A = this chain, B = another copy of it.
């Protein structure tokens, strides 16, 4: 029998977290990010009329505007380096990223704002390509770019282009998703292969050749999430997330911690493309921690798992969906991977991201 890890018996690595200044890890989606939000932003923003919403800390806020009118609202900034990479650029990433944050809350995104911070000296032709890519991505995702703002900072500040998109979408009335619905026994589903976005960006940034075609999987997931929760579908979905910064590992850890349950995954069940596996082997990275931008992790009731998987596989973006694990009442708040040789390892929330500035 394999031992169940006992987190209480571990000795923690030396804390790196009492530094008085911002470090790259504060933007990495790991523990440092979580601490910055919990200890700095949340107390500062407390006491505003809808503060209860913020406390839920999802990727989107969901607000009841009027009877039957439920609005999801989300924002993300994009500082990816380099701005162009195989399969995409910062423009479609900025559209898909915010579309997907709304989509996994169960909403149908319909409008985005665009805030651009440009660096003096940026080539206008390059900006034109990025804007055109944003327009195409918006049309593909069925959303409109309805309002915007442009600021310019002096040469040497900024990195050519930083983009922010905020988005709004309509969520089905009566739909309740979130960690509070996750129960032991629930199935953990993943919509397809992982790591392609992060490795695609990395390959250009570091000038690496992995000897194979690689391209970001950046794509809108609204069709997939709506197949699960839209139009009155009752597929027993407890919660959905898109595993971006920090990868599938960070998403599963967030789900486990916020729901107070444990999650067990079968490592061999997680689809990792050969090129991602090779690149990770070369660089000493773990594919579970690599960022994605067209993937969904969905937790669903066990009796609906096969039906939910079929619905996911019926969409183009989810054709390779698989079940990767199960929610358990053992090791609450901890994610464990069963390995191929019968062992198990803890899949911890990283302190920061392995690869900064992938999105």
Which of A's residues lie within 8 Å of B, judged by CB?
20-28, 33, 36-37, 40-41, 44-51, 53-54, 58-61, 63, 65-66, 68-69, 71, 73-79, 110-111, 113-125, 127-128, 131-132, 134-135, 138-139, 142-154, 156-159, 162, 164, 166, 168, 170, 356-357
Contacts and interface: CB of A to CB of B under 8 A. Distances in A.
Contact of A115 (B76, B125, B128, B150): B76
A74 B75 CA distance: 12
30 contacts: A23-B152, A24-B154, A25-B152, A26-B118, A27-B153, A28-B152, A37-B148, A37-B150, A45-B114, A47-B135, A48-B139, A53-B147, A60-B147, A61-B111, A63-B111, A63-B146, A69-B69, A71-B168, A73-B111, A73-B113, A74-B147, A75-B114, A75-B115, A75-B149, A76-B115, A77-B117, A77-B149, A153-B159, A154-B357, A164-B166
A152 B24 contact: yes
A36 B150 contact: yes
Contacts of A47: 135, 139
A213 to B, nearest CB: 28
Given A47-B139, A54-B144, A154-B356, 8 more contacts: A21-B120, A44-B128, A50-B144, A61-B111, A75-B166, A77-B115, A162-B162, A164-B166
B26 A113 contact: no
A217 to B, nearest CB: 21
A181 to B, nearest CB: 20
B33 A124 contact: no
Nearest to A28: B152
A40 B135 contact: no
List the number of copies, as a whole number: 2
Q: Main secondary structure on chain A at its contact with chain B?
A: mixed
Top 8 A-B pairs, shortest CB-CB distance: A27-B152, A166-B166, A44-B131, A75-B113, A50-B144, A61-B146, A48-B144, A164-B164
Given A22-B124, A150-B33, A46 B166 contact: no
A51 B145 CA distance: 7
Given A115-B115, A151-B79, A22 B120 contact: yes
Nearest to A140: B48
B24 A145 contact: no
Contacts of A147: 53-54, 58-61, 73-75
A122 B21 contact: yes
Nearest to A132: B44
A117 B114 contact: no
